[in-house]
Amino acid sequence: MTELLYYEDRGLFEFEANILDIEGRELLLDKTAFYPGGGGQIADKGTIDGVEVSSLRKDERGIWHSVEGSFAVGQTVKGQVDADWRRKTTCGHTAEHMLAGNLVRLDPSLSVGKVNINPPENMVIINGHMEMETVKKALQKVNLLISQALDISSKEYSKKEAMSWGDVRAKWNVLPEGPVRIVSICDFDRSACTGVHAMNTKDLKAVAITQVHKRGDSTSIHFLVGEPAIDFLAESNVITVDTAVKLDTSVDKIGEILPVRLGREALLDPIIHDLNESKFEALEPVNVGELDLYAEVFQGVSQKWLSKKAMGLTKKETGKMVVFATVNPGGGVNVIAAASQGLDINVGQIMGELFRELGGKGGGGPTSAGGGSDEWDIDKARALLEQVKEKLAAGQV
Ligand SMILES: [Zn+2]
């Protein structure tokens, strides 16, 4: 049976051990500091005699270490656990206990589902209906506990004794009889867990939530720990403050204001559409030289809509030219021009020249053209249409 050094001394990363058995590439050691993974926490990384440990496995005989190379039973080997990776996985696991422990404490109807600690991505699924306000309070408390530098211990107790305390988070019905390992974050949170944890809450530095996904009656919370959490908190803070400035509000009002703004746009969309349709229906051509010219400025319609209307008027008709512009909600003007077949004009040429004269871009072929500019406004669009008329009237085409 392998002696589990990772429980005895969480700060031990170098150790010597004897090989008890070998199966294929796997070495069974008499003792090890390599945590094989479990309880949602990914396994340790590191080397044995300088050779990378590619995987770890636990069975009733102990811990098996998969390594390439030639080893013999009875041989003494030197194990080296990747301390940086261990720090990330243990801090991730402790952060999960603190977050879940606080959530369940704030709302006892919640329970912890699946846990996945695989830095920098960490995730916990919480079962039950969870309010975002509860998430906020839990995160505040987690970061407060980090600043309080609380010791974290891990020890085995009899199941009966641990159950009698009444405050241990555990799925008692699935835990086997016999000793139960209890992880205590000072006297704040006690939980049945076989994982390896940080030694002190201050090792976590900070915890930040990056995503909250609700699916049915459960919610997955993704979180970062340590430096990545500090970076994320700083970045999201600055983005939130900047968004508040752009919305002309304060950070605490963004949640209220944003849906109203988005809702208003959704409400206005069909009205804008109807206004443009009415404008199109009422459109009368002006007779310029040998053709009927339809020229109009629309607002907030798509280029596809403009194109469809322009083609509809010119494709099957004779003697017609269309110049339609639309002013975009975010600024800028798009223009579509089209003409019936058989006219003695070149639409691409006329429009290309005008676009350039007015500081825009665009062009096309004899019967259709497109262009515009991100810099133009409604006055520029109207000016362009007037110039088309003048050009046609003067016969400069
Ligand atoms: Zn755990």
268 has pLDDT over 80: no
Total count of domains within the chain: 4
Claim to verify: residue 272 and residue 292 sit in the same structural domain: no
Q: Can you give the pLDDT at residue 121?
A: 86
Residue whose token pair is 């991100």: 374
Q: How many H-runs (helices) and E-runs (strands) does the chain carry?
A: 9, 22
Annotate 62-78 with b (16+ C-beta within 10 A) or e (fewer). Answer: bbbbbbeeebeeeeebe
| Residue 63, strand partner residues | 58
**Of 49, 81, 113, at which residue does a domain stop?**
81
Claim to verify: residue 269 and residue 288 sit in the same structural domain: no
Task: Determine the distance separating the centroid of ligand 1 and the alpha carbon of 95, expressed in angstroms.
Answer: 10
Mean pLDDT check: name the lowest of 97-101, 166-170, 262-266, 343-347: 262-266
Task: Determine the distance separating the centroid of ligand 1 and the alpha carbon of 89, expressed in angstroms.
Answer: 11
User: Quick one: pLDDT band at residue 293, thresholds 50, 70, 90?
Assistant: very high
Q: Can you give the pLDDT at residue 349?
A: 93
Claim to verify: residue 216 and residue 172 sit in the same structural domain: yes
Residues 6+ away with beta carbon under 8 Å from 383? 358
Task: Determine the distance separating the centroid of ligand 1 and the alpha carbon of 185, expressed in angstroms.
Answer: 11
Task: Determine the distance separating the centroid of ligand 1 and the alpha carbon of 191, expressed in angstroms.
Answer: 7
Q: Can you give the pLDDT at residue 396?
A: 62
Claim to verify: residue 255 and residue 213 sit in the same structural domain: no
Claim to verify: residue 354 and residue 306 sit in the same structural domain: yes
Task: Determine the distance separating the centroid of ligand 1 and the alpha carbon of 41, expressed in angstroms.
Answer: 8
pLDDT in tens, 41-85: 999 999 999 999 999 999 999 999 999 999 999 999 999 999 999
**Cα separation of 366 and 343, whole Å?**
9
Task: Determine the distance separating the centroid of ligand 1 and the alpha carbon of 93, expressed in angstroms.
Answer: 6
**Cα separation of 264 and 210, whole Å?**
28
Claim to verify: residue 224 and residue 173 sit in the same structural domain: yes
**Of 24, 50, 81, at which residue does a domain stop?**
81
Q: Can you give the pLDDT at residue 329?
A: 79
Claim to verify: residue 75 and residue 223 sit in the same structural domain: no
Hey, is 291 helix, strand or coil?
strand
In single-letter form, the type of residue at position 293 comes to L
The whole-chain average pLDDT of the chain stands at 93
**Cα separation of 303 and 337, whole Å?**
11
**Cα separation of 287 and 397, whole Å?**
16
| CA 83-87-89 angle, 5° bins | 115
Q: Can you give the pLDDT at residue 169?
A: 94
Claim to verify: residue 372 and residue 303 sit in the same structural domain: yes
Task: Determine the distance separating the centroid of ligand 1 and the alpha carbon of 198, expressed in angstroms.
Answer: 11
Task: Determine the distance separating the centroid of ligand 1 and the alpha carbon of 97, expressed in angstroms.
Answer: 6
pLDDT in tens, 171-193: 998 888 889 999 999 989 999 99
For residue 267, the tally of other CB atoms under 10 A from its CB is 9
**Cα separation of 373 and 326, whole Å?**
11
209 has pLDDT over 70: yes
Claim to verify: residue 70 and residue 178 sit in the same structural domain: no
**Cα separation of 196 and 4, whole Å?**
11
Report the pLDDT averaged over residues 78-100: 97
**Of 229, 246, 263, at which residue does a domain stop?**
246
As a three-state string, the secondary structure of 360-391 is CEEEECCCEEEEEECCCCHHHHHHHHHHHHHH
Q: Can you give the pLDDT at residue 269?
A: 77
User: Quick one: pLDDT band at residue 257, thresholds 50, 70, 90?
Assistant: confident
Task: Determine the distance separating the centroid of ligand 1 and the alpha carbon of 30, expressed in angstroms.
Answer: 25
What would the DSSP string read from start to end of 339-365? E-TT-S--HHHHHHHHHHHTT-EEEE-
**Cα separation of 127 and 113, whole Å?**
6
Task: Determine the distance separating the centroid of ligand 1 and the alpha carbon of 44, expressed in angstroms.
Answer: 15
**Cα separation of 226 and 248, whole Å?**
33
Task: Determine the distance separating the centroid of ligand 1 and the alpha carbon of 39, expressed in angstroms.
Answer: 6
Task: Determine the distance separating the centroid of ligand 1 and the alpha carbon of 9, expressed in angstroms.
Answer: 17
CATH code of residue 231:
3.30.980.10
Claim to verify: residue 262 and residue 228 sit in the same structural domain: no
Claim to verify: residue 108 and residue 197 sit in the same structural domain: yes
86 has pLDDT over 90: yes
Task: Determine the distance separating the centroid of ligand 1 and the alpha carbon of 82, expressed in angstroms.
Answer: 20
pLDDT in tens, 215-230: 888 999 999 999 999 9
**Cα separation of 158 and 13, whole Å?**
29
Claim to verify: residue 151 and residue 275 sit in the same structural domain: no
**Cα separation of 362 and 370, whole Å?**
6
Q: Can you give the pLDDT at residue 117?
A: 97
**Cα separation of 119 and 132, whole Å?**
24
pLDDT in tens, 325-382: 999 877 899 999 999 988 888 999 999 999 999 999 999 999 999 999 999 999 999 9
What residue numbers bound the domain in which 98 lies?
Answer: 87-246
At 235, phi and psi to the nearest 5? Answer: -65, -45
Q: Can you give the pLDDT at residue 113?
A: 94
Residue 206 near residue 231, CB atoms below 8 Å: no
